[in-house]
Amino acid sequence: MDSYHRKPQDKDFRTGRDCRFCLKMDPDFAKRIPIDRWVQGKLEDSASSHLSENGYIRHRIFEIVAKRAQGPLAGLELTKSA
């Protein structure tokens, strides 16, 4: 397995639950296969807690979409220069 792919988890998939972030952001969330929707039950709703690589990638895409919706300077305070 090369370094670009995630290492398989030796976990039982029955502990998975739907990612609430993806549920809120992805209009096609219900069409995903279950393994792409699930995150590990004890972890937060983050991309790295997804059980599949496709779920991880889709989560990251929607994080980017959310950041772009905030605008390029959202929350950034600019100082005046000379």
- Is there a domain that residue 25 lies in? yes
* Residue 37 belongs to a domain: yes
pLDDT tens for residues 5-50? 766 656 555 567 899 999 999 999 999 999 999 998 777 889 999 9
- The model's pLDDT over 48-75, given as tens digits with 9 standing for 90+, comes to 999 899 999 999 999 999 988 887 665 5
DSSP state of 31: G
Task: Please give the full DSSP string across 16-77, using - where no structure is assigned.
Answer: EEE-HHHHHH-TTGGGS-HHHHEEETTS-S-GGGBSSHHHHHHHHHHHHHHHHHH-TTTTPP
Q: Is residue 36 part of a domain?
A: yes
Contact 39, 49 (CB under 8 A): yes
User: Residue 72 has what pLDDT?
Assistant: 66
Q: For the chain, how many structural domains are there in total?
A: 1
